[in-house]
Amino acid sequence: MREAHRIGVVIPALNEEGAIGNVIRDIPAWVDIIVVADNGSTDRTAEVARGAGATVVTEPERGYGAACLAGIRTAGLVDIVVFVDGDYSDHPEDMADLVTPIVEGRAELVIGVQHAHREHFSGVTDAHRRAPLPRGGWRRARAQRFGGVLPAPRPGARRERAR
């Protein structure tokens, strides 16, 4: 709970046993529920997630979207949902930067931007470290366009198309 807002974290996961425990352990204590949506893992992802304190739901329909929706359903009534990747490519310690603008009423939606440089990926496996990472890509472009925070619309304000 953060300033009277119930907060849930949804972690869609597929074969993330090596990192999922660290992801869950690093989520801030003010989060009310952590749901790992296991999307067909053949390793010990679900077991490790439960052991780290998460609620685990199995989603048999493959795909990131299906796993996200299963996680939302399982989280129940929350005021804020934060999606975190199970491979530690997102940093749970930065979650306050995502939640604070919503809690303060400055935004209704906040989009986080993953770092594009390997040195920022502290909890990933060697296979992830060897994978080529883009230098920027759409995530950085989106961050520049929106500044990472989308302001809440004002009542009666006319929506303009982005240029």
- Which domain CATH number covers 29? 3.90.550.10
- Does residue 12 sit within a domain? yes
Q: What range does the domain containing 63 cover?
A: 7-108
Say how many domains are in the chain. 1
Instruction: Please determine, for residue 148, whether its predicted confidence score (pLDDT) is greater than 70.
Output: no
Name which of 77, 3, 63 is nearest 33 in CA terms: 77
Q: Does the residue 92 lie in any domain?
A: yes
Q: Is the pLDDT of residue 139 over 80?
A: no
Within-domain flag for 84: yes
pTM of the model: 0.70
Structural domain contains residue 15: yes
Q: Is the pLDDT of residue 122 over 80?
A: no
User: Do the domain assignments include residue 114?
Assistant: no
**23 in a structural domain:** yes
Lowest mean pLDDT among 86-90, 119-123, 130-134, 157-161: 130-134
Residue 114: pLDDT band with limits 50, 70, 90: low
